[in-house]
A and B are shown apart, each in its own frame.
Chain A
Amino acid sequence: MGKEAEPYEKNEAYEDWKKAFGKKYDELVEQRLDGEPTPYILFSPEWAKKFEEEIQRSAKYQKLAKGWKGSVVLQILAKPEIGFENDLYLFIDIFNGDCYSVRLVPKEVGETGDYIIEGEYDRWKKIITGELDVMVGLMTGKLKLAKREKLSMIVKYAFAAKELVVSAVRTKSSYPDELTPEELEKFKAMFKDLKEFGI
């Protein structure tokens, strides 16, 4: 089993960003949760919120991730034609089986995550739709792990990491590359709103 729980180590950059922008970001998410059609678009702030709730609901994840330390960041490489002008950073604030939040964050915050998994949008989509297993993605280089010196935790908690992905798969999603032109324009416009949070 994992070690006894150690004190929750906060990520300073993420905490600073939350202090500056967290409240307004969350208000935006609340608005969008009410206003946007479901299923929410993959990697939108409201989708991230739903993903967070799925992780929090997963008793299996909580059991498997006891002892886990460190935040996970999913880095989605830029794809301007679907609205991702720059790389997106999805910050998953987890510790010892608990999930505190999942939010889009600016690059400089995302890069401070303990475990950063990088991949093209199309590959992330395949993972979310269940076409590509996350471990197969990592094995075959379709997904890449930055900060390799921290590999031991990912390896140790492979079952938990996989359950984290299962939570993402369970999060109902629509996909930016499948939107109508009007929907896509609206989705792209949202990123302008996110700029005020440095995203």
Chain B
Amino acid sequence: MYGLIGKILRVNLTEGKITEEEIPEELVRKYLGGRGLASRYLFNEVKPGVDPLAPENKLIFMSGLLTGTQYPSASRYSVVAKSPLTGLWGQASSGGYWGVDLKKSGFDGIIFEGISQTPVYLVIDNGKAELRDAQELWGKNVFETTEILKEKLGKKFNIACIGQAGERLVKYASIMNDKHRAAGRCGFGAVMGSKNLKAIGVSGTEEIKIADEEGFKNLSEKLFNLLDESILRFGMGEFGTNMVLDMVNIVGGFPTRNWQTGVCPFVDEINGTALKDKLSPSPKGCFACPVKCGRMSEIRQGPYAGQKGEGPEYESVGTFGGMCYVDNLEAITYAHFLCNDYGLDTISCGSTIAFTMECFEKGILTKEDYDGFEINFGDAEKMVNLVHKIAKREGIGDLLAEGTKRMAEKLGQGSERFAMQVKGLELPAYDSRAAKITGLAFATANRGGCHIDAYVQGATFIQVPYTLIEDSQIEDVHKENPKEAKVVKDLQDVFADVDSLGICKFMCLALRAEDLSESIAQITGLQFSVEDLRKTGERIYNLERAFNIREGLTRAHDTLPKRLLEEPLPEGIAEGQVNNLKILLDPYYEFRSWDKITGKPTPEKLKELGLEDVIEQIYASE
């Protein structure tokens, strides 16, 4: 098979049985690889109503169609499963080198099913796979686990693993690879922990076959040259992802004090320039990356001096900094390092701590509730302390380990108003009241409160219209323009493609749709037009939606926290703005051909996308 290796591993952890399966070519044509292919397997194999932490849930790792090739940023793999945080379809993606090494090991993906009686890890060495005992690794965090396994297996092995947070089933535990890179969102570290699966070590030399090698090489070189001259490379290379902090704050959309305002008074203490000055980071890139937005940093002063690691990324600074109102970059960085080591999603973790701070501020939580523990906005030391407690489920940490949605359900007293999540997934550091179309993207994202499902911030907060879709111009970010609902739909579709190809979304600020469709044609040898690309993305997106519908999702779930709908931003350029979602949701459903009452994709739409088998599954009860 061209592009993909053409094989997956199926690992039944209950029986300790490993089998190989070929990937039908038809599935590649329809779902490409990565997220799309994994979602198809998940839809077929996980029945509705399954507990995400039960043996019946499947945990699927899948490299992208382009992963491991010389195409710019072709490093990524996806993890897909039913999410313990949302109870819906979930996906997380990660870069680094692990996804490439998985493919080189001889398999495009792995489907884990069942639950092992005792802790195990999987080793794949050039097409041979075996499960090994992981009892000595259980209880260890990510960095140590990685080092032990590299020592034991050899340096050529690349490790993906969980830390203590995943073992203790923290609902937003992440899976980490290359030590510092995270498949962070949706809580798949907990799914891995529930299966008693500690790690996966991969190594190999399998080559990826490319149908039109010359054409693919030329296209990749052309794109590398383009990116070489791009402001994206200079900006990200210079400041990392934290370069956007100033842009978001200046338009009044940097969530501060758990989204009580969008203007942070101490941005100069935590922005890209501050990070560069205080942590002297050195750039670090993923496989085949021309941009190198990663940073290797060292904390140089204060109580955390000497700690080293990768990051912090913008989202970590946004959640631990802005949302928690902490102006201490060293504490933010250390909290981020801890999350990486424990295996925690920094967005959900920081956001949950910010929510907790507001609960204390409002008296919903008091120090009598948890052995005298109390935390206020801006308390850097206690914020760091809470990361430990969450990962270990100690004291109040056990409550926070459930995420903001479940916390609000338990605490009540109106706290759901400021539990900043959608469908259970905590929102990222972009206040949608300052760029309205972002609210629609958050509300409708298949995995919940997600910023990269549509990555519409590119066209709003970052002011770069995409050339990946026909039109992504946003006339006025403060106005809900029904026509612009199509921008969200089109971006969601094309980014489903991007995740299935295994490339980085940041590159897509500079790429055209043709750059993707041509690469697919060249690598697979199939005829593949821009129209095919659009339809493929739409097919994947509708399949994921159908999974969620089967789980009971309705239009009512496509919404935002009340704070965004009802509380105007109090200051800044976006002062007075709230999200009026209704104006955008109906036209969005129309562009999608989804039923405006039930939220279901219409049978006609599913048929058009070649998803006939899905029709009876989501209309079965009618």
A residues apposed to B, CB below 8 Å: 1-3, 63-64, 67, 133, 135-136, 138-141, 144-145, 148, 151-152, 154-159, 162
Contact, CB under 8 Å: A1 / B230: no
Query: A residues within 8 A CB of B247?
Result: 155-156, 158-159
Nearest CB on B from A3, distance (A): 8
Known: A145-B231, A155-B246, A158-B247. A135 touches B226 (CB 8 A): no
Q: Does B27 contact A (CB under 8 A)?
A: no
Nearest CB on A from B153, distance (A): 41
Q: Does B509 contact A (CB under 8 A)?
A: yes
Picked from B238, B263, B268, B573, the residue with its CB within 8 Å of the CB of A148 is B238
Provide 13 A-B residue pairs closer than 8 Å at the C-beta atoms, listed in order of the A residue: A1-B249, A1-B573, A133-B464, A135-B462, A139-B231, A139-B464, A141-B510, A145-B231, A151-B234, A155-B239, A155-B244, A158-B247, A159-B247
Known: A133-B465, A135-B465. A152 touches B230 (CB 8 A): no
Q: In the bound complex, what is the Cα–Cα distance between A135 and B232 (angstroms)?
A: 10
Q: In the bound complex, what is the Cα–Cα distance between A148 and B229 (angstroms)?
A: 11
Contact with A along B248-274 (1 / 0, CB 8 A): 011110000000000100001000110
Contact with A along B209-228 (1 / 0, CB 8 A): 00000000000000001111
B residues apposed to A, CB below 8 Å: 225-232, 234-235, 238-239, 243-244, 246-247, 249-252, 263, 268, 272-273, 462-465, 467, 473, 509-510, 572-573
Contact, CB under 8 Å: A159 / B230: no
Nearest CB on B from A132, distance (A): 10
Contact, CB under 8 Å: A139 / B230: yes
Query: B residues within 8 A CB of A133?
Result: 464-465, 473
| CB-based nearest B residue for A158 | B463
Nearest CB on A from B264, distance (A): 10
Query: B residues within 8 A CB of A3?
Result: 268
Q: In the bound complex, what is the Cα–Cα distance between A67 and B252 (angstroms)?
A: 15
Known: A144-B229, A158-B462, A162-B463. A139 touches B509 (CB 8 A): yes
Contact, CB under 8 Å: A64 / B573: yes
Contact, CB under 8 Å: B464 / A136: yes
Picked from B238, B250, B464, B465, the residue with its CB within 8 Å of the CB of A156 is B250
Query: B residues within 8 A CB of A2?
Result: 250
Query: A residues within 8 A CB of B263?
Result: 1
Query: B residues within 8 A CB of A144?
Result: 229
Query: A residues within 8 A CB of B273?
Result: 152
Known: A138-B230, A155-B235, A156-B247. 12 other contacts (CB 8 A): A1-B263, A2-B250, A63-B573, A133-B464, A140-B226, A141-B225, A141-B229, A152-B239, A155-B244, A159-B247, A159-B250, A159-B251
Query: A residues within 8 A CB of B473?
Result: 133
Contact, CB under 8 Å: B272 / A157: no
Query: A residues within 8 A CB of B226?
Result: 140-141
Counting from the closest, the 3 A-B pairs by CB-CB distance are: A141-B229, A156-B246, A138-B231
Nearest CB on A from B599, distance (A): 34
Q: In the bound complex, what is the Cα–Cα distance between A152 and B273 (angstroms)?
A: 8
Contact, CB under 8 Å: B572 / A140: no
Query: A residues within 8 A CB of B462?
Result: 135, 158
Query: B residues within 8 A CB of A162?
Result: 463
| CB-based nearest A residue for B252 | A1
Nearest CB on B from A127, distance (A): 13
Query: B residues within 8 A CB of A1?
Result: 249-250, 252, 263, 572-573
